[in-house]
Amino acid sequence: MRKIFFYDTTLRDGAQTEGISFTVKDKLKITALLDAIGIDYIEGGWPGSNPKDIEFFKEVKKLKLKHAKITAFSSTKRANIKIEEDKNIQTLLEADTPVVAIFGKTWDFHVTEALKTTLDENLNMIKETVSYLKSKGKEVVFDAEHFFDGYKNNPEYAVKCLKVAEDAGSDVLCLCDTNGGCLAFEVEKIIKEIMPNLKASVGIHAHNDSETAVSVSGMAVYCGASHVQGTINGYGERCGNANLCSIIPILKLKMKTDCVTDEALKKLTEISRHVAEIANLPQSAHQPFVGRSAFAHKGGIHVSAILKNPKTYEHIQPELVGNGRRVTISDQSGISNLMYKAEKYGLKLDSKSKEVKSLIQKLKQLEHEGYQFEEGEASFELLVKKTLGIYTPFFELQKYTIEIIQKTEESFTVKAAIKIKVSGKSYESEAIGDGPVNALDAALRKVLEGIYPAIKAIKLMDYKVRVLDSKEGTAARVRVIIESCDEDKCWGTVGVSTNVIEASYLALVDSLEYKLVQ
């Protein structure tokens, strides 16, 4: 079985994503995560481009990596100067990594228009750079920039660039679809034409501008490539790079290649979410394999089928990539969805009972009013238990008031006063907050934390408001979703009202009640 090597460029290409700015500490954390799942090469950055990358290469030496080789990135030497005088190349060597990646032009159009040099001089730049780095004992990856576009325009010259790099000692010839415009069948044709003439290992580096980066990468491996470059979550400039979170399971599970271990594959979902957290970007719920919705089922017919056999609507077992199956509840739900969720909550229900049918109707009515339980599953669990009479609220609202005092145009104070009943006894409290919801939360906690200490562990992690019918203007219904976490897990709750404070209060109360009912 042919061994496939993964080369991650999240720390360089991924860092060029709009909205991402990794610190050195961030990059070190990601490096450790990538090493843990068996990534073979980790490209740390371009040491000649900024001080941050220089610092990373110094600090990464302190990590005790078990598998990955750290790689430094740069361009070929500049035209018409001695390589010993090229600051980029010398800084590359100072990074002191076992592997270096060099990108060079292979599209004649880029050579004459971007570099403003001759085709022969570009060949000389490739040859001298690779030879020089090999003489320094480096493993060299030659990134053939714009290779596929170059081959389409001038195949003879594009291949000549590869042969020059190969003859100079390059260990890997990585074919780059830099503009992301190639389709899989084009890549297949080109690689099959050039492979018989190459001795070095062939790699693939694809961008996602045509939504084909993953398919292009898979096709390259199918045609003989053994080195695959990409990023976690497909991060990268413009539309991103090839997504390793999709490529890895495709090559492992579907193409049956030797790449990562079963144990490493099970860490993939957690790695995806952890890197997204470090990047301070939301992980796409609909991302294949690792997204929260990748194995989510909503339609009643689908759920009925997967309860009989998951293969009916799942292409792999979600556990193989560390993900899990989810059944959501909505106005498209049937009894199968409800039975699945009830079993998850430890409840034994009779699918033909009046309670179940009543619950289905109540659920559909609530969703008609604007409730959405896909992101508010804790609220749904409380609804089920309350309807079945196996859960009684821990406290009862008697009244609350919100007072907003505007002091100046830029300064205001929000005060919440609340009265609730617990076990037949009334309690009142007031609190100041940054806003109405924060003030309500603080006022509730003043009373409840003394009675139910478990509430102290709850942290509100996210708060979302959506207007459900903008045509109604300021009278429109709004849906509020709150994500809360304690030391063990996170949960979502939902509230709907024409009053955003009321909707927020409903979601907030469900969040506290859910913690107490566990």
Please report, for the chain, the start and end positions of each structural domain, with discontinuous segments joined by +. Answer: 5-260, 348-392+458-518, 395-451
- Answer whether residue 330 shows pLDDT above 70: no
Task: Quote the pTM value.
Answer: 0.75
Burial class (CB in 10 A: 0-12, 13-18, 19+), 100: buried
Q: What number is the average pLDDT over the span 146-160?
A: 98
Q: How many CA atoms lie within 13 Å of 267's alpha carbon, on the beta-carbon side?
A: 17
The 10 Å Cβ neighbour count of residue 49 is 15
- What three-state secondary structure class fits 474? helix
**Are residues 34 and 260 in contact, defined by beta-carbon separation less than 8 angstroms?**
no
Query: 291-307 b/e with 16+ CB inside 10 Å = b?
Result: bbebbbbbbbebbbbbb
For the stretch 36-94, pLDDT in tens is 999 999 999 999 788 899 999 999 999 999 999 999 999 999 999 999 999 999 999 99
**Which DSSP string do the residues of 164-180 spell out, in sequence order?**
HHHHTT-SEEEEEETTS
CATH match for 348-392+458-518 among 3.30.160.340, 3.30.930.10, 3.10.20.30, 3.30.300.20: 3.30.160.340
> What is d(CA 464, CA 482) in angstroms, rounded to the nearest whole number?
6
- Judge if 5-260 and 348-392+458-518 fold alike in CATH terms: no
* Lowest mean pLDDT across 79-93, 99-113, 482-496: 482-496
Q: Which two three-digit tokens encode residue 233?
A: 């979550």
* Lowest mean pLDDT across 115-129, 181-195, 406-420, 486-500: 406-420
Is the domain spanning 395-451 CATH 3.30.160? The answer is yes
Q: Are strands 41-45 and 5-8 parallel, antiparallel or unpaired?
A: parallel
* Lowest mean pLDDT across 48-57, 242-251, 460-469: 460-469
- What three-state secondary structure class fits 409? coil
* Lowest mean pLDDT across 6-15, 118-127, 272-281, 300-309: 300-309
Which pLDDT belongs to residue 303?
A: 76
Burial class (CB in 10 A: 0-12, 13-18, 19+), 417: middle
Which pLDDT belongs to residue 361?
A: 77
* Nearest by Cα to 323 from 397, 399, 265: 265
> What is d(CA 140, CA 89) in angstroms, rounded to the nearest whole number?
13
Which pLDDT belongs to residue 332?
A: 52
**Are residues 228 and 203 in contact, defined by beta-carbon separation less than 8 angstroms?**
yes
* Nearest by Cα to 151 from 101, 211, 110, 112: 110
- What three-state secondary structure class fits 454? helix
Based on its alpha-carbon atoms, the radius of gyration of the chain, rounded to whole angstroms, reads 29
Question: Which amino acid would we find at residue 214?
Answer: V
CATH topology of domain 5-260: TIM Barrel (3.20.20)
* Nearest by Cα to 208 from 186, 235, 232: 235
